[in-house]
């Protein structure tokens, strides 16, 4: 029979600290969603979680640190979405299209994080080196899927990274317009059809100057 060991006071404090950090980040997301980056002031954030600004600084040294934590959270969620998609699909254009749908699902479910990572909605915020590397890691999954399609002879004409950018340009443009409210005149099923058509356009891409 296992003996239950009570957590130490240090462990309880650390757990309490982790919960408080999570509460702060959830409040920050609500503010981002409602007011954007400019509305995320430390005083307002402290008020949203019921602590004073000085107490808030015990958890995050600055607004930028809060945004960087949210940036990492977003790239982690998107990476999980992509990895699950890769695990559930076969290599080739089908997998690449499913990654496009996963990208859209992430943007629609997390518009605040999507715009923070990909929207550059406020010139005052630039992600740190760690956050930039996380985003590059996500894009690396796109590149890998494109390379698989190239190896299978399904697309050609450009290097995998260039083709991955072309694919991302299309998916990103659509999702950004959608979550920003510019496509509200379309019904949900119409948006699905338009996005599917956007992804299918990638199937026809090749470099006119390319020779086998």
DSSP character at residue 2: P
- Helix, strand, coil shares of the chain, percent, nearest 5, are 75, 0, 25
Average pLDDT, 10 consecutive residues per value, the chain (212 residues): 61 86 96 89 93 91 94 96 97 95 97 90 84 92 94 90 94 95 96 95 63 46
How far is the C-alpha of 195 from the C-alpha of 101, rounded, in Å? 8
DSSP character at residue 186: S
Residue 125's CB is within 10 A of a number of other CB atoms, namely: 16
How far is the C-alpha of 202 from the C-alpha of 98, rounded, in Å? 13
Domains and CATH numbers, the chain: 8-61 (1.10.10), 63-204 (1.10.357.10)
Token pair for residue 12?
């309880």
Token pair for residue 67?
């945004």
pLDDT at 206: 54
Compute φ and ψ for 126, nearest 5 degrees: -130, 125
Token pair for residue 13?
């404090």
Q: Tell whether the torsion through CA atoms of 28, 30, 33 and 39 is positive or negative.
A: negative
Q: What's the pTM value of the predicted model, to 2 decimals?
A: 0.87
């Amino acid at each position: 029979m296992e003996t239950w060991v009570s957590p130490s006071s240090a462990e309880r404090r650390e757990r309490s600290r982790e919960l408080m950090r999570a509460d702060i980040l959830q409040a920050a997301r609500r503010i981002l969603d409602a007011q954007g980056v400019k509305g995320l002031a430390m005083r307002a954030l402290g008020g949203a979680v019921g602590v004073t600004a000085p107490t808030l600084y015990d958890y995050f040294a600055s607004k930028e640190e809060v945004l960087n934590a949210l940036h990492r959270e977003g790239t982690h969620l998107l990476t999980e979405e992509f990895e699950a998609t890769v695990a559930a699909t076969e290599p080739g254009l089908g997998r690449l299209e499913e990654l496009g749908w996963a990208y859209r699902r992430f943007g629609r479910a997390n518009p605040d994080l999507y715009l923070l990572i990909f929207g550059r909605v406020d010139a005052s915020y630039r992600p740190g080196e760690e956050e930039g590397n996380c985003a590059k890691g996500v894009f690396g999954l796109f590149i890998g899927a494109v390379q698989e399609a190239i190896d299978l002879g399904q697309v050609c004409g450009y290097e995998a990274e260039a083709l991955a950018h072309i694919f991302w340009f299309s998916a990103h443009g659509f999702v950004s317009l959608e979550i920003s409210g510019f496509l509200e005149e379309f019904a949900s099923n119409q948006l699905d059809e338009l996005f599917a058509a956007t992804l299918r356009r990638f199937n026809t891409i090749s470099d006119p100057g390319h020779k086998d």
